[in-house]
Structure formats: structure tokens, C-alpha cells
Amino acid sequence: MIKFFRKIRQKLLSQHKVTQYAAYALGEILLVVIGILIALQVNTWNEDRVQRSREVKYLKNIRLDLEKDLASLDYQIANRKEKYAAIQKLLRQIDGEPVADLDELSRSVVTTLMSERFTPNNLTYKELASSGNLNLISNDSIKIQLLELEELYKTNEFAIEHETHDYEEYLSKPLFKHIRTGQLFPVYAGTATSVDMGVKEEDFHELLQNREYQNGMVVSNLITEDLLVLYGAIERKSRSIIRWIGNDLGE
């Protein structure tokens, strides 16, 4: 092809057709430029296609992570509500409410011992952030919501650390000091009654009058309230991101 164009130019020059030669040369240059632009456009299109393929993979993995989180949150919220009800019951009995059901009191004490924590499945997001590939997410709304969700995760982590410290210092220590927990766990599990285990109301008197336990219960109540609100916010944000990802993927 190049030899063909060269022969045409040489023929025009030999015939002293300078104007036609210049026009032809300009046209040839334009063809070359157009060819280069087309090649660049095809290359850009291929790069965009590869980038989009990576983005779609990340978005689907993020959605899978969030769907796992929602299942975990359902359990955590139910667990926290049960713990909150137990704490409320114990706070009333600390304030002098008569014990009407010894089995219920035994279950409440054990329930407040349970230390559950929500651990998010955010490995895909962490990989994106640590590798500097967060900009692969082209939808700004999804990106912003992911950043907001990460802040909620940090709040959760801080609250859990605070709760763990208070649990160890103010709840478990006085409980293990004043109560034989081995008697309570079968009652909590529903395999025995307090009567079966020889549990008596006076067994709880020193515990409920212990200042550290009382203060720990107040703090645990506040943290549980805050975590229920926080888990609700995490759940709503997660569902919102899942919807946005679905829309972005055209599903």
C-alpha cells in the first residue's frame, strides 16, 4: 500500500503537478492521522471495557459482602434486643422491683454475660482502598455511601472495644465473685429450672447490690441502646448500597 502511494506521488512530481501532489500528500497525512485516532479510540475502548469488567467484579463482591452482613445483622439485632430487655429487667430489680420469676432472673443474668460483636465482611472494600483502586468505582453515589458505611464500621469497632472493657471490669468480675454461674447456665439453656439447680433468690442479693455491677449495668444499657441504633443505620446503608449496585449493573 505504501509503495502504491509512493508511485502516485512520484508520478505527480514527474508531471510537475505540484498542486495535485500537495493536495494528495495532505490527504495522505489526513488518512494517517485518522488511522491513528481510530487506533487510539479502539485502544481506549478496550481499556474502558477491561476497567468496567474489573469494576463489575468488585461491585458484585461488595454486594455479596453486604448480603452476608445483613444476615449477621439480623442475628445481632435480635441478640441485642434480648440483651437490652434483660438489662432493663435487672435494672428494675436493682432498683427494688420484687423477683417474680427466678428462672427469668437467672436467664437475664446470663444473657448480660454474653459478649456478641458484629464483624463486617468488608474485605473487598479494604482491598480496593489499600490497593488505591477505589476510583474503579465510577458511580460517585456508591463510592460515597461505601465511605459512609466504613465510618459506621469504625464507630461499631470503638463501641465494642468500650463494651468489652466495661464487661470485663464491671459485669463479669462481680458476677463471678458473687454467683455460681454453673447453676445458671442450664436454666438459661432451658434444660433445667432454678429449683432443679438449687438457685435461690438470696443468691442474687449481693450481686444486685454490688456498686460495680450496678454501674456496669447502666453503662451496658447505654451501649446496647447505641448499638441498636447503629446497627439499624448500618442495615439501612447496606441495603441502599445493594440497591445502587443493582441499578448500576442494570439488574
Per-residue pLDDT of the chain (251 residues; tens, 9 = 90+): 444 445 545 554 455 444 554 555 555 666 666 766 666 666 556 666 778 888 899 999 999 999 999 999 999 999 999 999 999 999 999 998 998 899 999 999 999 888 778 899 888 888 888 888 888 888 999 999 999 999 999 999 988 888 888 777 888 888 888 888 889 999 999 999 999 999 999 989 999 999 999 999 998 999 999 999 999 999 999 999 999 999 998 88
Q: What are phi and psi of 96, to 5 degrees?
A: 110, 5
pTM: 0.77
CA-CA distances (angstroms) from residue 248 to 128, 141, 211, 212, 241? 18, 10, 55, 52, 10
Residue 210 gets the label, from left (phi > 0), alpha (psi -120 to 50) or beta, of beta
Q: Where are the domains of the chain?
A: 55-248
Query: What DSSP character marks residue 111?
Result: H
Q: Which of 211, 179, 160 is nearest to 110 (CA)?
A: 179
